[in-house]
Amino acid sequence: MKWEKILVRYGELSTKGKNRKQFISHLRNNIKFSFVDLPNIKVQAERDRMFLTSTEDSEIQELIQRLPKIFGIQSFSPVASCSQGLEDIQATALQIMGSLDSQDKTFRVTVKRTDKRFPMDTYELQKTIASHVLRHHPTLKVQMKKPEIDLRIEVLADAVYMMAQVIPGAGGMPLGSNGRSLLMLSGGIDSPVAGYMLLKRGVRLDAIHFHSPPFTSERSKEKVMDLANQLSHFGATVRLHVIPFTDIQQSIQSQIPENVTMTTTRRMMMKIADIVREEIGALGIVTGESLGQVASQTLESLTAINAVTTTPVFRPLISMDKLDIIDIAREIKTYETSILPYEDCCTIFTPSCPKTKPKLEKVEYYESFKDFDDLIKEAVENREVISFPLRKNSNFENLL
């Protein structure tokens, strides 16, 4: 089936008021960025919908495959066109129905006759096309309310446009419409899912990872790089900040009582993340913590960790069950990478009996015997920054 264009529906963006244009502009730029490798794509943004066109059928097919990952799109439909001749309309309707699995499906025809000069009225055209389709697809059943297939026909002055598929989009808000945050990316199952959920709300992401060689291997670093790259597939560049954490972690192990080393480790990570966040102009820190999942994620532990910063810390998974998180990880294709057996710096140094209810004043007392500031400054200055996806420079490089 040769499609003329793609009709994009905004969904949540349609509820916006005076700033709707700003959100639509973000979506248009994100689409241009995501499809920079398709040079013939044209974007026409209107108040309530957007049209994507190309002279190349292969590019239209590529759009259909990749648009479901673009946040800010509620749904989209491939659109075919033909002349106003009745035989042409009937033939195009059959081509569209033939491209679908219509066996034993419910069906209706919806007509919008914008060009009132068209010789047939709305009901007459609707009845004529429906009868023609049913003669060629006898297993179809007519259903006027919520059919499985709705063949929509719009008669304009220059052509007739038709569509029958409504393909779900990713929903959410366009990337870049809600600022930037810093994701603490561990390499486990949870943090990539947390990052995905913030991306869906229009938040651009940098990611930060704490690497402790030789205790953690290069394979563990490559695993996190793969996760960052996968998150970048949702329409924007993700910069990964790899922090050398060995010296800090060894100092913690030598100075802090074993049962609270995990709390102090998380506090030092949060301090470093806050410095990096400020340097890159991010407005928040994102973690994959889920309440009560491990010892460092009890309310008492989270309170002690949060005490080192006044920056908003977003925890989108805080009330989610592990199985629900795993379902999302599978959906966004990070699960198989996350379960690879390459340990991160937290799992390497996990104490045998960690405190589940650490007292903040005691943790601060233990930390007071060691000046971590110089080590933190050195770790931030020596970090490695990698941008994903790895691609050639383009004219849209600075849009996101």
The string of pLDDT tens digits covering residues 87-122 is 999 999 999 999 999 899 999 999 999 999 999 999
Number of Cα atoms under 13 Å in the Cβ half of residue 395: 7
| Cβ–Cβ < 8 Å for 367, 220 | no
Residue 17 confidence (pLDDT) above 80: no
| Cβ–Cβ < 8 Å for 253, 349 | yes
Share the mean pLDDT of the chain: 91
Report CA-CA distances (Å) from 261 to 186, 306, 338, 358: 17, 16, 24, 10
| Cβ–Cβ < 8 Å for 325, 237 | no
Measure the CA–CA gap between 317 and 197, rounded to whole angstroms: 9
Measure the CA–CA gap between 345 and 244, rounded to whole angstroms: 10
- Please give the torsion angle defined by the CA atoms of residues 168, 27, 96 and 4, in that order, rounded to the nearest 10 degrees: -170
**CA end-to-end distance (rounded Å), the chain:** 34
Give the pLDDT score at 287.
97
With 0-12 / 13-18 / 19 or more C-beta atoms within 10 angstroms meaning exposed / middle / buried, residue 161 is buried
Task: Encode pLDDT of 302-320 as tens digits.
Answer: 999 999 999 999 999 999 9
Two tokens, residue 32: 């241009």
Two tokens, residue 247: 């010296």
Residue 395 confidence (pLDDT) above 50: no
